[in-house]
Amino acid sequence: MVPHLTTALSGPLLDLERRFLDASPQIEHWLREQWQVYTPPFYSSVDLRNAGFKLAPVDTNLFPGGFNNLNPAFLPLCVQAAMSAIEKFCPQAKRLLLIPENHTRNQFYLQNVAQIVYMLRQTGLEVRLGSLSPEVTAPTTIRLDSGQSLLLEPLIRQDNRLGVEGFEPCAILLNNDLSAGIPPLLQGIEEQFILPPLHAGWAVRRKSNHFTAYDEVANGFAKAIGIDPWRINPTFSLCRAVNFHERQGEECLAANVAGVLDIVREKYREYGISERPYVVVKADAGTYGMSVMTVHDADEVIALNRKQRNKMSVGKEGLEVSEVLIQEGVHSCETVNEAVAEPVVYMIDRYVVGGFYRVHTGRGKDENLNAPGMHFEPLAFETGCNLPDYRCGNPDSPPNRFYAYGVVARLACLAAAIELANTAPGQ
């Protein structure tokens, strides 16, 4: 279930929320059936956009890096869900190796690592940190602004097992999205579970595969509860062989932008929506809000200036962008202190364990908020983990609004599970 939450919200989503409330028994039954077939990722986070007329995921991260932004009151939920996840993969686990990103100087990220370590230790695991960074050649203590410290240790490979000095883990948890590729140290590991699996990293993973799986999920779910799947699903298409520097693939981009915009315009006419349609063009692989732009007209991708082309051409780790997702833009009608906001929902296993608002004072409701200048507003926590509040009579009350968020986030988590199953080596 979704925690009972309160925060300052604007923009009703009443019709969809009401349908979710009315269909709650069917929803929970449908999801339970899906989890009999598919194994959820160890953890995930989902970026949602709430347009009032539409609530949809726009990105799903399988290496979430913001556990430090969750309200501390969520910790019991996190620990309980982590226990469930660990029992699935390695019921006898005593020791776990956590491999973080190589951000040894990013305090915000390191606070996230510290929170993951704390959470996992609460499950009864012994946890050590092994670093892929070539700079970590000996045990290195990193002091955090919070007063805590982390001990990073160089990884040691012995035959087909990985660990650190004097520590043989049962399982390896990655909080490193492998954007730079799968290092040899992690290849050919046997007898140890690697979570998430290596093909979940951006060296292999593609957003288009995720949203193809989400299409399947959204259509099945919408049929089960009697809604238009478009209300929870952003239309998308894909362009391959794009080179922004050389201006190759512009015709493909323009045609696909026009095609997605045409579909969206037709749906806006169907629902009497007066907003201006837009698409988001983004790298098919990668994260951190890099290589992303908002487009309202197909001509805009033909007329990119040098600065725009440079921005779109390079992703995380300096990797060149050659495959591009064209995704229906979902306006954000939500604000926190008059700044545009989007909810980010965190899950461990198949359980919602909390979330926060990503807020950007300098961006509009049709722009990417995952950009420099953003900040996070933790979702306030009221009680434990509650069912939707059927008795209050208001589908837009806090527990019911967040139930709707949790439903769509869990659909995205299910899509990630299907995606990983479909793209596993040998499939």
Angle at 332 between CA 326 and CA 334, to 5 degrees: 160
Task: Spell out the residues 6+ positions from residue 423 whose beta carbon is closer than 8 angstroms to its own.
Answer: 199, 204, 205, 209
Question: DSSP characters for 305-364?
Answer: -HHHHHHHHB-GGGPBP--EEEEE------EETTEEEEEEEEEETTEEEEEEEEEETT--
- CA angle (386 as vertex; 383, 389 as ends), nearest 5: 105
CB 44 within 8 A of CB 64: yes
- The token pair that represents 391 in the structure block: 């008795």
Asked if CATH classification 3.30.1330.50 holds for the domain at 90-200, the reply, yes or no, is no
For the chain, the 3-state helix, strand and coil shares in percent, each to the nearest 5, are 35, 25, 35
d(CA 25, CA 239): 40
Q: Which CATH class is domain 236-329?
A: alpha beta
For residues 64 and 347, give the distance between their C-alpha atoms in angstroms, rounded to a whole number: 9
> Taking residues 362-371, what's their average pLDDT?
71
Give 29's pLDDT tier (boundaries 50, 70, 90): very high
Q: What percent of the chain has a predicted confidence (pLDDT) above 70?
A: 87
Given a contact cutoff of 8 angstroms between Cβ atoms, the answer to whether 183 and 132 are in contact is: yes
Contact by Cβ (8 Å): 277, 318: no
pLDDT reading at 58 higher than 90: yes
Contact assessment for residue 16 and residue 52, using Cβ atoms and an 8 Å cutoff = no
Please list the residues that pair with 343 across neighbouring strands: 357
What is the value of pTM for the model shown?
0.90
Q: What is the mean pLDDT of residues 204-208?
A: 94
Distance CA 60, CA 32 (A): 20
Q: Write the pLDDT tens digit of every residue in 307-328.
A: 877 777 775 555 677 888 999 9
Lowest mean pLDDT among 41-50, 129-138, 158-167, 393-402: 393-402
> Which pLDDT band holds residue 401 (cuts at 50, 70, 90)?
low
Contacts of residue 198, defined as CB under 8 A and 6 or more positions apart, other chains included, come to 178, 182, 186, 187, 204
Q: Where are the alpha helices (DSSP H) in 122-247?
A: 207-225
Name the token pair of 298.
């197909």
Query: How far apart are alpha carbons 85 and 91 in whole angstroms?
Result: 9
Q: Compute the distance between CA of residue 169 and CA of residue 99 in angstroms, rounded to an integer.
A: 12
Which amino acid type is present at position 349?
D
Task: Please tell me the predicted confidence (pLDDT) of residue 261.
Answer: 96
* Burial classification of residue 345, based on how many CB atoms lie within 10 Å of its CB (0-12 exposed, 13-18 middle, 19 or more buried): buried
Q: Where are the domains of the chain?
A: 1-62+205-234+331-427, 90-200, 236-329
- Determine the Cα–Cα distance for residues 313 and 201; give it in Å rounded to an integer: 20
Residues 6+ apart with CB under 8 A from 139: 151, 152, 153, 154, 165
pLDDT one-digit tens code per residue, 210-266: 999 999 999 999 999 999 999 999 999 998 877 877 778 788 888 999 999 999 999
CA dihedral 28, 213, 232, 354 (to 10 degrees): 60
Strand-pair partners of 372:
none
Cα–Cα distance between 199 and 167 in angstroms, integer? 25
Q: What is the pLDDT of residues 165-175, one digit of tens each?
A: 999 999 999 99
